[in-house]
A and B are shown apart, each in its own frame.
Chain A
Amino acid sequence: MTAKARVTTYVRMVSAGLFEDWIKPGSAGLFCEPGGFHVDPARRVGRAIITHGHSDHARAGHGAVLATPETIAIMKARLGPESAGSFQALRYGESLDIGGVTVKLVPAGHILGSAQAVIEHRGQRAVVSGDYKRQTDPTAAPFELVRCDLFITEATFGLPVFRHESGEREIGRLLKSVHTFADRTHLVGAYGLGKTQRLIALLRKAAYDRPIWLHGALQSMCDLYTELGVDLGPLRLVTDATDKLPGEIVLCPPSALKDRWSRRLADPVTAFASGWMRVRARARQRGVELPLVVSDHCDWPELVETIRETEAQEVWVTHGREDALVHQIALMGKRGRALALVGFEEEEGE
C-alpha cells in the first residue's frame, strides 16, 4: 500500500485529546496501556517497539521486541543475538493487532530500518516519530507522512537556528577541501551507525570511487549495511594502510578525532559531520577544521513543516530542545507538551 492510499483511506477523528487513557509517558518512557508495550523504553520492559537501532532507543534486555527486520539485524549485531527474549519483525506498512491496538511501522528516514510507530486505538491515531528526517538519504527509506491526532516528535534540533545543509552540498565542500589540501588526510568524524554509511553513500553518489578508509570501530556496521543490500563501494581499514594516507578520506568515530590514533595520518584536516556543526561555538568546541552540517535529524523547518502536515491537534515532544518547539506549536494553534523523557542523548545519532 502506498502512502497516498493510506492517507486517503484514513478517516479523521473529531475527538482529539484525551490520549492519556491509552498512551502516556511513564518512568521507562512512552507506554501504551491497552497494548501493554513501550516505545523505545529507557530501561528493561516486557514488550517494546523499537523505532531504530541507535543505543539510546534500542537497549538490551527487553522481554519481546517488535521492530523492522533491519532494526532487528542491527540490534543483534550490536547488542548480541540474545539481547531480547524474542524478536518479532514487522515490515514497513504491515499492520499488527496487539490487544485491540493496531500497530504499524512506516519509514522515518533517519537510518537504515528506522521507523515511526503508528498506533491506533478506538479510532484515535498516534504517531511516535522516533528520530526522523525529511532529507533524502541513499541508505534509508524516505520518511512517509502519516496524518494523525497525536504526533509524538523528537526535537533534537528544535531551534530556528538549525537548518541543515544538503548532504550533497557538504560532500562537495569535503571534496573541494581534499582537492585544496591534496597532501593531507581528511579525517571525518561520524557516528558509526547511520551517519558513516550515509556519508560513504553520498561520496559514491558524487562519483568518488577511491577506497574509503575506516577506523576499526566502524567496520562491523558497514559490513552489516552491505549485507542488507546497501552498496558502499571499496572500503579499507586504516590499520592496513602502508603509508600515512595523504589525499585520502578516512572515517572515524567522533571520539577518535582528537585521539593519538590520528597521529598515524598525514597532517589530518579534521572534519565532523553533524547538525551541531551549524553553530560556530559548537564546532569550535570540537576543534574541527572542516565542520560539515550533515544531520540525520529534522532541522527546524522540517520539524515545523512535519507537525503542520500531520494535522495533529496535539503534539508531544519527547526529547531535544523542547522550549522553542513547544512555543512554536502554540503559535500554530495546537496543543504542545514537553515530555522531557529521560534516556535520550543530546548528541545526534548515538
Chain B
Amino acid sequence: MKAFADLLDRLSYSPSRNAKLRLMADYFRNTPDPDRGWALAALTDGLPFSFPLRRTLTGMMARRMDPELYRLSRDYVGDTAETIALVWDSATEARSPLKMRASPPPRGEGRGVRGTPALDLPESPPPYPSPTRGEGTDAGGGAPPCLSDIIAELALVGRDDLGIRLETWLDGLDATERWALLKLLTGALRVGVSARLAKTAVAEMAGFTVGDVEEVWHALTPPYAPLFAWLEGRGPRPEVANALVFRPLMLSHALEEADWDALDLDQFWAEWKWDGIRVQVVGTREGASLYSRTGDSIGGAFPDLVDGFHFDAVLDGELLVVRDGRVASFNDLQQRLNRKGVSKRQMEQFPAHVRLYDALLIEGEDLRQLPISERRARLEAWHGRVRPPHTDLSPIIEAADKNELRAIWTEARETAVEGIMLKRRDSPYVVGRPKGLWWKWKRAPLTLDCVLMYAQRGSGKRSSYYSDYTFGAWRDAGGGKRELVPVGKAYFGFTDAELLEIDRWVRNNTVESFGPVRAVTPRLVFEVAFDAVAKSTRHKSGVAMRFPRIHRIRWDKPADEADRLETLLALIGP
C-alpha cells in the first residue's frame, strides 16, 4: 500500500505530463504483480467496486473523536477523507481524552521510530506496550495490508461489514496510505491522470506505444498479469483477433478558422457529423455487441440492433434513432441511453439505427493501415453484400469547392446534424487523436441573450462560489406585463476571473436564499450558447437546450433587451 499511496501522493502534486509518466513508469517497474495491476485498474477506473463512504465515515468519527476537535479539523482541511486520514492516530489515542493518563500516550513507540529520544525522567513511563507501526516493522498484529489484500477482501466483505474492516486497515496504515485507501474505496482518485495516460506509462516503460496496449486492453481484466507478462517479454500477446472486444478509436480535432483557411479540400472529403453517439459495432462468430467511445459495452440495451448482426467485422458509426427514414432528435436517442435493458415499447417508439462510416476489420482482415478511401470502398462493397438490418452508410457530401462546402455548412440546421466531418482521403485508421487527418467542423452555436435568475454554489473547488446559473427568457404574462421563465442552466463557459466577478455580483444582488441557491435581481444578461433546442415536458418553459454554456457576460446589456421565449421556440427543429 505504501508504494501505491506514495504514487498517488506524488501524482496529485505533479502538474506535468512527463513527470506523471515517469512516476507511474517507476511504480509499475518496481512493484510486483498483482499490486501493480490493481493500481493500473484504479488509475483506469477499472476497479470492480466503489463505496459511498460518507455516512460510514462520519459515524465512525463520531464514535472515535471529540466532536469539537473533529469539527475544527474538518473545517480546516475541507475534505472529510483527508481529515480522517490525518487525525486517525490522534482519534485512536485520545478516544477517551479524560482517561488519557491511563491510556498509552501519543505515538508510543512511534517516537522511537521517529528518532526522538525518550525523555530522561525518573517518572517517565516504561516503554509503551502499545503496538505502533513504524517503517518496515511488523506491528499491530500483522504487516500493513497491501493493495491486493485489500482488494481481495473488498470483494468478500459486504457493504455493512465494511466499516469494521476499514477501521482495522486504517489502524495499520500511515497518513498518506490512509488517504490513498479512502480515495480508492470511493472510486475517485482525482490525481490528474486519465486512463489513457496510465496506459501510456505502462506501454512506454516497456518500449511499446499506447496504441499497442489499447489494442489488447479490452480483452483483459484486472489485475492484468498477462499484460505485464507480454510487455516484459515473459508471455504471449493477449489474443484479441476473434474476441468480442472494443478496439481503440481514431478521434478528430476541432476545426478552427485558421485550419479551414489552410485546408486543401482536394485532399479531403466531407461527411455529415451526426448528432448521435459514436459507436463501434463488433460482430464475431460468437455474437455481436456495441461499444461506446470509451469502450463500454452497450449492446445489452440494443437487442433490436445486435440480434440482427450476424457478421464478422469491426465497424465505426453513429448510433441514432431513425423513424421512417428520418433521424430523430438527440432527445429521442437519450430515451434509449444509460439503460441496462429496454422494453418492447421503447424499441418501437425509439427505433435504433447505426449509420456507418468506417471499417476497422472485415472478415478477419485488418484494414486500419489502408487509406480511408480504400476502407470506404471495402465497407461499401461489404455492406452491399451483407445488408445488416437497421444500418446504412453515411453519405459523402458533394461540394465543388470550399465556398460551396462552407455554404452547405452554414445552412446545415437540420436537428440531426451537428456539423461536418472532414477526413483526409489517405488517412489510415490511427488510434488516438492524430493531428491533421480528421477534422470536426461543428456548426456555429445558437445563441440567446438570457437573464440570470438563480445562482447555486458549485461543488469541490467551487464550493464557495456561486457558479451554477439558471437563466430565463421573457414571455407575456397577460395584462400587458411580462415575466421571465427559466430556459436553462449552465456552469461553464466563463473564466475564473469572470467567476469571481459573477460571484460578487450574485452576493450583492441576492433577493432570497434557499439553502445553496440564491434568487437574484433579474438584471444580469448572459449570452448563452447552445447546440440545439428541443421541446421538453420537464421544463416549465417547454423547451430544453442542448449543451448550454455561458458564451459572454453582457454586463452592458439591460435585462429588458434580453431575448423572448418565442425566439427560442422558433429554433426548435421539425
Contact of A331 among B66, B114, B175 (CB under 8 A): B66
Number of A-B contacts (CB under 8 A): 121
- Contact check, B72 vs A324: say whether CB atoms are below 8 A apart: yes
Confirm or deny: A15 has a beta carbon within 8 angstroms of a beta carbon on chain B.
Answer: no
Given contacts A160-B87, A301-B89, contact A328 B97 (CB under 8 A): yes
- Residues of chain B at interface, number, CB under 8 A: 49
- Contact check, B114 vs A166: say whether CB atoms are below 8 A apart: yes
- Contact check, A324 vs B121: say whether CB atoms are below 8 A apart: no
A173–B6 CA distance with the chains assembled, in angstroms: 9
Confirm or deny: B307 has a beta carbon within 8 angstroms of a beta carbon on chain A.
Answer: no
Given contacts A284-B13, A288-B13, A328-B69, contact A301 B120 (CB under 8 A): no
Confirm or deny: B23 has a beta carbon within 8 angstroms of a beta carbon on chain A.
Answer: yes
Q: Which residues of B contact A180 (CB under 8 A)?
A: 22-23, 26
Confirm or deny: B514 has a beta carbon within 8 angstroms of a beta carbon on chain A.
Answer: no
Confirm or deny: A33 has a beta carbon within 8 angstroms of a beta carbon on chain B.
Answer: no
Given contacts A289-B14, A289-B15, A324-B72, contact A163 B66 (CB under 8 A): no
- Contact check, A323 vs B72: say whether CB atoms are below 8 A apart: yes
Given contacts A289-B19, A331-B66, contact A4 B13 (CB under 8 A): no
Confirm or deny: B483 has a beta carbon within 8 angstroms of a beta carbon on chain A.
Answer: no
Q: Which residues of A contact B77 (CB under 8 A)?
A: 161, 279-281
Confirm or deny: B107 has a beta carbon within 8 angstroms of a beta carbon on chain A.
Answer: yes
Confirm or deny: A7 has a beta carbon within 8 angstroms of a beta carbon on chain B.
Answer: yes
Task: List residues of chain A with CB under 8 Å of any chain B CB.
Answer: 2-4, 7-8, 134-136, 142, 145, 159-163, 166-169, 173, 177, 180-181, 269, 278-281, 283-284, 288-291, 300-302, 304-305, 308-309, 321, 323-324, 327-328, 331-333
- Contact check, A4 vs B121: say whether CB atoms are below 8 A apart: yes
Q: Which residues of B contact A168 (CB under 8 A)?
A: 114-115
- Contact check, B107 vs A301: say whether CB atoms are below 8 A apart: yes
Contact of A4 among B107, B122, B175 (CB under 8 A): B122
Q: Which residues of A contact B119 (CB under 8 A)?
A: 3, 145, 309
Q: Which residues of A contact B89 (CB under 8 A)?
A: 163, 301
- Contact check, B117 vs A163: say whether CB atoms are below 8 A apart: no
- Contact check, B115 vs A304: say whether CB atoms are below 8 A apart: no
- Contact check, B93 vs A301: say whether CB atoms are below 8 A apart: yes
Confirm or deny: B349 has a beta carbon within 8 angstroms of a beta carbon on chain A.
Answer: no
Confirm or deny: B116 has a beta carbon within 8 angstroms of a beta carbon on chain A.
Answer: yes
Task: List residues of chain B with CB under 8 Å of any chain A CB.
Answer: 6, 10, 12-15, 19, 22-23, 26, 65-66, 68-70, 72-73, 76-79, 82-83, 86-87, 89-91, 93-94, 97-98, 100-101, 105-107, 111, 113-117, 119-122, 135, 175
- Contact check, B107 vs A7: say whether CB atoms are below 8 A apart: no
CB distance from A326 to the nearest CB of B (A): 11
Of B6, B69, B78, B82, most buried by chain A (CB within 10 Å of CB) is B69
Q: Which residues of A contact B78 (CB under 8 A)?
A: 281
Contact of B117 among A142, A173, A281 (CB under 8 A): A142
Given contacts A7-B122, A290-B10, contact A280 B90 (CB under 8 A): no
CB distance from A175 to the nearest CB of B (A): 13
Given contacts A159-B72, A280-B82, A304-B106, contact A134 B121 (CB under 8 A): no
A281–B75 CA distance with the chains assembled, in angstroms: 12
- Contact check, A159 vs B120: say whether CB atoms are below 8 A apart: no
Given contacts A304-B106, A308-B105, contact A135 B114 (CB under 8 A): yes
A184–B26 CA distance with the chains assembled, in angstroms: 16
CB distance from B79 to the nearest CB of A (A): 7
A-B contact pairs, 18 of them (CB 8 A): A3-B120, A135-B114, A136-B115, A163-B89, A169-B114, A177-B10, A180-B26, A278-B175, A279-B86, A280-B79, A281-B78, A283-B13, A290-B10, A291-B13, A301-B90, A301-B107, A324-B73, A332-B100
